[in-house]
Structure 1
Amino acid sequence: MLQCTLWLNTTRGSRIVMLYQAQDMLARFLAPGNFVVSSMRKSMSNPFSPAHYMPGSRLMRAQLELLERQTANYPKPDWDLGVATRVVLSHDYCDLIEFESDLSADAPRVLMVAPLSGHWATLLRSTVAEFLPDHRVYITDWKNTRDVPVSVGGFHLDDYVDYLLTFSEAIAAPVHVVAVCQPSVPVLMMAAVQAMQGRDQHVASITLMGGPIDTRLSPTEVNDYAANRDLEWFEKNVVKTVPWRFAGAGQKVYPGFIQLSGFMAMNFDNHMSKHFKFFDDLINGDGDSAEKHRQFYDEYLAVMDLPADYYLETLDRVFIQHLLPKNKMTWRGQAIDMTAIVRPALMTIEGELDDITGFGQTKAAQDLLAGIDESRKLHWLQHGVGHYGIFNGRKFRDVIAPKIKDFMASSI
C-alpha cells in the first residue's frame, strides 16, 4: 500500500518511463524492513514474551502492524472455501478451474467469468461461496501477465473471447454464465459468436453484474477518465515493461499497482479513515473488526498485471468507440450481430450507488439483445449498494444471489 501511496503523491501529471523498475526496486528495498517489523510485532504479540506485557505494548503492536501492512507485498490469496479446486483447462493467460463438489452430475452448472481488471479471481470468493451448496461452480482464474513468458505471444480482446468459447463448451450443458463487471462485454461477444456459428446450445442463461455495456449512459469518473484521453496517452503513461527478474520479462503490461492506485484514488479519504479505524480497533482490542479489515485489504491490495494489448483494445473498443452498443463490434475481423443471440435467458444487475459502472450501463444489454424474448429477460436494480455490493456482502447474499438462482432455474 505504501508503494501505491507514493505513486499517487509523486507521479500526478508526470511520466516516469522506468516506473515498473522503480516500483520493483522500492518493494525489494522495503522487504528487509518489513521482515524486521513483522518479527517485532510477532514477538510482542506472543503471550510468552515479556515484551507482550510491557507498558504501552498494545499501542506498540498496533503501530508495528500498521507499518507492517503498509510496507508489505500482497500475494495471490487462497480461496479458503473448504473445498478443493482442479484445473479443467489451462491456457497461457488463464485457467478454467472447478470447485470440487459432492453434488450429482445433473446439478446446475455455473461458469463465473472473473474480471481481468487487476484483482485476482479470488475477489469473487464470497460470490462463489453462495453458489457452491447447490451448483457445480467453475471460474476463470486469470494469470499474472508478469509471470507469462513473452515467447507465448500476446493476449488481445479477441483471445479473451476465444478463451470463453473454449471454457463454456468444455462444461457439460446447460451452462449458466455469470459475468462480474468487466467480462460482460466479452461474454456477450462470445454468445453472439456462438449464435452466429450455430454453437449456442451450451449456454442456458447469461447474468451480467455491473458490466460496462454502454458507458455513454450515466458516465462515471472511470468512464470519463478513459473517454477524455486518447490511446497514445495511455500507451505512453501507463503501459510498462516487465523487469528482467520476472518470468514475463519484456511483456508490455498495464501494471496492477497502477490500477490499484486508481481504485484507491477514487475513494482515498475512505481508505485512510478505514486504516485509522483499524488502528483504533487494534488499540481497543476489537479483534473481530480488525480481522475483517485484514481480510478485506489482503484481497484488495493483491493485484496482478494486465496484458497491454488487451487493456488498450478494451479502452478503445468498449470505453472510447462504444462499439458494442452501436452493434459495430468485431471478432477476428468478423462483424458481430448482437440480435443473433436468441437462446439464452438474460439477467442484468446494477447497484444504485455504483460509482464504477453507471446507472443504465448494464441494463443497456436488455435492448441490445433484441432477439431474446422479453419473457426470458430480467433486470434488477439493487438499492443501497455500490459496485462491490453487487457481488459481495449482506444484500448480495440475502437478495441478489437468490434472485440469480431463481432466474437460472427458470431459464432451463
Structure 2
Amino acid sequence: MKGMMSYDLMETIRNTNEWMGASARAMASYPIWGMAPHPMFKLMSAWGHVTERSFARMVIKPDWGIRSIPAEDGRDHLVHVDTLVPRPFGDLVQFRVAGRAPMARRVLLVAPMSGHYATLLRSTVASLLPDCDVFVTDWHNARDIPVSDGKFDIEDYTLYLVDFMRHLGPDLNVIAVCQPAPLTLAATAYLAEEDPDAQPRTLTLIGGPIDPDAAPTEVTDFGRRVTMGQLEHMVIQRVGFKYKGVGRLVYPGLMQLASFISMNADKHSAAFFEKIMLDAKGEGSEHDHHNRFYDEYLAVMDMTAEFYLSTVERIFKGREVADNAFVVEGKRVDIGKITRVAVKTVEGSKDDISAPGQCIAALDLCTGLPASKKASHVEPGAGHYGIFAGSSWRNNIRPLVLDFIDQNAGKAEPKAPMRAV
C-alpha cells in the first residue's frame, strides 16, 4: 500500500530518537558519575533530556492551558473549553468564562489546518478572552480519523465554516489566521448568496494567501516548481497500523515538520545547541522560552491528502479564489456577493510566508462592498507569527481589530447570563 511502510518508518525513527534521548539522560544521571565529575556526563544528560522531550512532543496534542482570566469584577474566572459542534474532521469549541455575563463582542477564530494544532493560537485566544466571547475551529489530526469517515478537501473545509457560522448566528465577528483566509472569505460569500441572514458582521483576514501571486515567496515558488504528480509522489503517504486512521492518505505531520525546520535550519540548530548548553550548566528550566515555543512548534498533525493537494492545486496553482472562480459542490462562489460584511486585512511587512500584497487582494475581490466597509493594515517589522501571536499582535494589531469590530458590528444584544461554576 502506498507509503504505509515509509509512514511507519518515520514513526520508528522518531520513536528510536526519543528512546535514545531517554536512555542517554538516564545513563548520564546515575549518581555514581558524581565520583568522576567530568562535564561530559552533564552534557550527555542535557542532550538526552532535550532530545527525548523534542521527539516526544511530535505526537502529543498540546493542551490549551488557559485556566482563568481576570474580569472587570476583580475576580479570576475559570475558563472551560466546551465542544459546541462535534464533527469528524474538526469541532467548533467555545472558551466559556464561568460566571461572566455574555460579551457584546462574539469572535470566531478560524485556526489554520497547516501542520500545527489550533493551540498554536493559544496566545491569540488568551488576548481576546478578556474582551470577547471566543469560539475556535479545533481541527483534528487526520491520522486519528477512520477511513470510513470519508474525505476532507477544501470544499468540505469551507462547508464546515459555513455550518459553524450558521450555528453561532449573525451577531458574529470572524477572524481567520493564515491558511484559512481564502476559504473563510469564500465561506462568507457562500452565506451572502445562500443564507444572507447568517452572515457575520465583520471579517478580519490575517496573513492569508488570497492571491499567492501578488507577492511571491519561497512557499508559493515551491508550488510553482513542482507538478501535482511530483508533489503527490514526494509527500503523500498512508497512515500506518498504529493509529485509527490506518490506510488514510495523508501529508504526514513529521514530513511537514522537516519542511518547516529546513526553512530556518541554522536558527533552529542554534536554539537547540543553546538549550543543551544551558541545561548542562543547570541554568535551564521546564517552562523557559525555548520549551514553551518548541513544545508547540514540534507538535504536528497529519493533513488529509485531498485537503493538502486541493489547496496547492486550487488556491496556489489555479488561483481560484484570487480569480473569483472558486467552486463549492459544483456552484461558483461569487465574492462580489458580499455587500454588508465589513472586511479588514492584516499583513506583516516582513512576512516571508504570506508576503504583503497577498492578503489585501481580498478587498479588490469584494466588488459589492462599499469602501467604508473595507480596511487594511500592514504592521511594520512584523513577521508571519508576530501578526497573530507576537508582540505586534498584542501591542498594535489586536487593538485595531477590536476597534474595527466595534465600528462595524454595532451593539449585540446580550444573551442569558452564564451559570457560575
Query: Fold conserved (TM > 0.5)?
Result: yes
CA shift at 1:279, angstroms? 2.4
CA shift at 1:28, angstroms? 3.5
Match in the other structure for 2:11: 24
Are 1:90 and 2:86 an aligned pair? yes
Change (3 A) 1:335 1:53: farther
C-alpha distance in 1 between matches for 2:89 and 2:3: 27
Maintained 8 Å contact 1:103/1:134: no
CA RMSD of aligned residues (A): 2.2
Match in the other structure for 1:63: 47
Maintained 8 Å contact 1:113/1:177: yes
Q: Which amino acid aligns with 1:25?
A: T
C-alpha distance in 2 between matches for 1:68 and 1:53: 26
Maintained 8 Å contact 1:282/1:290: no
C-alpha distance in 2 between matches for 1:131 and 1:290: 23
C-alpha distance in 1 between matches for 2:35 and 2:102: 57
Match in the other structure for 2:76: none
Aligned pairs for 1:231-380 within 5 A = 231-287=228-284, 291-380=288-377
Match in the other structure for 2:415: none
Q: Which amino acid aligns with 1:97?
A: V
Match in the other structure for 2:101: 104
Match in the other structure for 1:3: none
Cα-to-partner distance string for 1:152-195 (whole Å, 9 max, x where unaligned): 11111111111101111111431111100000011011011101
Maintained 8 Å contact 2:252/2:302: yes
Identity %: 38
Change (3 A) 1:70 1:173: closer
Q: How many residues align?
A: 393
Deviation above 6 Å: which 4+ runs of structure 1? 49-54
C-alpha distance in 2 between matches for 1:161 and 1:52: 60
Q: Which amino acid aligns with 1:63?
A: W
Cα-to-partner distance string for 1:193-217 (whole Å, 9 max, x where unaligned): 1011133444011111100000111
Which blocks of at least 5 consecutive residues in structure 1 are unaligned? 1-14
Between 1:211-220 and 1:21-30, the stretch displaced more is: 21-30
Match in the other structure for 1:80: 65
TM-score by length of 1: 0.90
Maintained 8 Å contact 2:176/2:184: yes
Match in the other structure for 2:189: 192
Match in the other structure for 1:120: 117
Between 1:57-66 and 1:381-390, the stretch displaced more is: 57-66
Are 1:408 and 2:405 an aligned pair? yes
Maintained 8 Å contact 1:145/1:248: yes
Change (3 A) 1:40 1:410: farther
Q: Which amino acid aligns with 1:265?
A: S
C-alpha distance in 2 between matches for 1:205 and 1:17: 44
Aligned pairs for 1:107-186 within 5 A = 107-186=104-183
Cα-to-partner distance string for 1:272-330 (whole Å, 9 max, x where unaligned): 11112222333454446971101100100000000111111111110001111111111
C-alpha distance in 1 between matches for 2:262 and 2:349: 21
Change (3 A) 1:364 1:52: farther
Change (3 A) 1:54 1:111: farther
TM-score by length of 2: 0.88
C-alpha distance in 2 between matches for 1:227 and 1:166: 33
2:272 counterpart SS class: helix
Q: Which amino acid aligns with 1:88?
A: L
C-alpha distance in 1 between matches for 2:340 and 2:33: 67
2:182 counterpart SS class: helix
1:105 counterpart SS class: coil
C-alpha distance in 2 between matches for 1:228 and 1:356: 16
Maintained 8 Å contact 1:200/1:343: no
Which blocks of at least 5 consecutive residues in structure 2 are unaligned? 68-78, 410-421
Maintained 8 Å contact 2:356/2:378: no
Match in the other structure for 2:218: 221
Change (3 A) 1:396 1:334: same
CA shift at 1:71, angstroms? 4.1
